Structure 1
Amino acid sequence: MNTYSENPTNAPCHEISGSLVVKVIQPKSRDLGEFSVRRVLPASGKRMVGPWLFFDHMGPVTFAAGKGVNVRPHPHIHLATVTYLFEGEMLHRDSLGNEQVIIPGDINLMVAGRGIVHSERERPEVREREHSLHALQLWLALPEELQQVPPAFYHYPSAHIPSVEVDGVPVRVMMGSAYGHTSPVKTFADTLYIEAHLQAGQRLHLPETQERGLYIASGSVQVAGQTIQQHEMGILTPGSDVEVVAHAPSRIALVGGEKMTTRYLEWNFASTDKAFIEQAKADWRAGKFPKVPGDEEEFIPLPE
């Protein structure tokens, strides 16, 4: 579900003066046919948070038998996709020949580099019954000097992701380092991604990095008197000590890392140079990207 047919639509964003939360982004709903997603990044006035240039929150959604996720093969360049499920299951296939079932807690990292094609579907035994799905899908910008690296795919089972309890709050260090733990998930620049579950009244000091975005997947929290509601992302002041206080049981995700130059973003393509995007569009139209083994018959046409 990384992107589906059209250019991303920017989510609205409003600025807050004199606060540790400098902006609050309200996601824009994106209808994808059988379901919709909340698109948080890119946002008006905030295209990226550190290396993160795309952030979608899907669900929770329950599909009737015969319905579900069925994303045909589509290409990417110059980015890495990160897929993380809270609930449900997905089937990843790509043009390198990888076929991987993703379940809750796992992290899938697909490095597009100079070009990759993948599909996101469901196994028949999942699709033939009623089933649910709840997920985050994110894109990372590759540093400019690494944009043309060979494509690659990495799968990290849930058991390999560090878990730690911080002041009674369970935290997972998904990418980067925090609270004395370092995730094994490959990074290409200073990158941070953590997840935490807070009960009402619990507090959590957030790790520092150059840029940070605090997303509330469920519940609501307060930061220095500023409330961030469910499905909002608060952009935090750089270099500040930030403590989150939960108003209600809350699931939060903190993403961030080093500030990067803004990328051009069109359809499934991101780059520091528009020429690479135009070439990728031409190559996709001409059928020059590799096929996905086991999923060769269908594809998503380039939007015109």
Structure 2
Amino acid sequence: MSWNPTLDPHCPEIGNLNAIETIIIPRSRDLGGFEHHGRQDLPLLDGEGKSVRLIIGNAWGETAPVRTFSEMFYADVLLERGASIPLPENHEDRGVYVTSGSINVAGQDFAAGQMMVFRPGDKIEAAKVAWAAGDWAHGRFQLPPDDNDEFIPLPEA
């Protein structure tokens, strides 16, 4: 059974809906039931151009209330342009999945839909890609309404 909020007459128009569902099943352990924690129960680190909601595990000095059976962390991170965040070094396996926009890791840009997995011990800092000349050249820069008659190239730096 699926639910489509755009077809539900009781649901206000919400625009695009993006979601990632994560199910963690420990090997040879009793799950002991289903856990649900509301957004208000999850640690939020907010400031310096970043908003980090820790969903599972421990990172950045915080611990989420979700029960885990091994060391891990899982977070929803929103970065403003130019902001960055170091990935915790106290976890052996670390990865990043970009859901929207793009980030820069070690001088390489990664766009929405890409995933990176890092080796243990790598010092990693993810940064929201600052506005780039490519955004202008490829029309990804929002112009004022009715101001699309003339294209002015970006001056060389």
User: TM-score under structure 1 normalisation?
Assistant: 0.38
Equivalent position to 1:186, from 61, 67, 72: 67
Partner of 1:223: 105
CA contact (8 A) 1:173 1:183 kept: yes
Partner of 1:273: none
CA contact (8 A) 1:65 1:130 kept: no
Q: Identity of paired residues, percent? A: 31
Q: 1:145 aligns to what SS in structure 2?
A: coil
Q: Distance in 2 between matches of 1:150 and 1:225?
A: 41
- 1:141 is aligned to 2:13: no
CA contact (8 A) 1:167 1:204 kept: no
CA contact (8 A) 1:220 1:248 kept: no
Q: 1:131 to 1:201 in 2, by over 3 A?
A: closer
Q: Distance in 2 between matches of 1:65 and 1:166?
A: 37
Cα deviation for residue 145 of structure 1 reads: 3.1
CA contact (8 A) 1:65 1:131 kept: no
Q: Distance in 1 between matches of 2:56 and 2:38?
A: 13
AA aligned opposite 2:59: A
Unaligned 5+ residue runs, structure 1? 2-33, 36-61, 67-123, 250-304
Q: Distance in 1 between matches of 2:31 and 2:53?
A: 29
The within-5 A match list for 1:247-286 is 247=129
Q: 1:131 to 1:197 in 2, by over 3 A?
A: closer
| TM superposition outliers: structure 1 runs of 4+ over 6 Å | none
Q: Distance in 2 between matches of 1:196 and 1:185?
A: 18
Cα deviation for residue 150 of structure 1 reads: 5.2
Cα deviation for residue 236 of structure 1 reads: 1.4
CA contact (8 A) 2:41 2:65 kept: yes
Cα deviation for residue 168 of structure 1 reads: 3.9
AA aligned opposite 1:212: R
Partner of 1:117: none
User: TM-score under structure 2 normalisation?
Assistant: 0.70
CA contact (8 A) 2:49 2:80 kept: no
Q: 1:63 to 1:210 in 2, by over 3 A?
A: same
Partner of 2:115: 233
Cα deviation for residue 158 of structure 1 reads: 1.0
Between Structure 1 and Structure 2, how many residues are aligned?
A: 129
Q: Distance in 1 between matches of 2:81 and 2:40?
A: 27
The within-5 A match list for 1:48-197 is 63-66=5-8, 125-126=10-11, 133-142=17-26, 144-146=27-29, 149=30, 151-165=32-46, 167-197=48-78
CA contact (8 A) 2:92 2:119 kept: no
- What is the Cα-based RMSD across aligned positions, in Å? 2.7
* Larger Rg computed on CA atoms: 2
CA contact (8 A) 1:219 1:248 kept: no
Greater fraction of residues in strand? 1
CA contact (8 A) 1:166 1:204 kept: no
Cα deviation for residue 183 of structure 1 reads: 0.6
- 1:211 is aligned to 2:93: yes
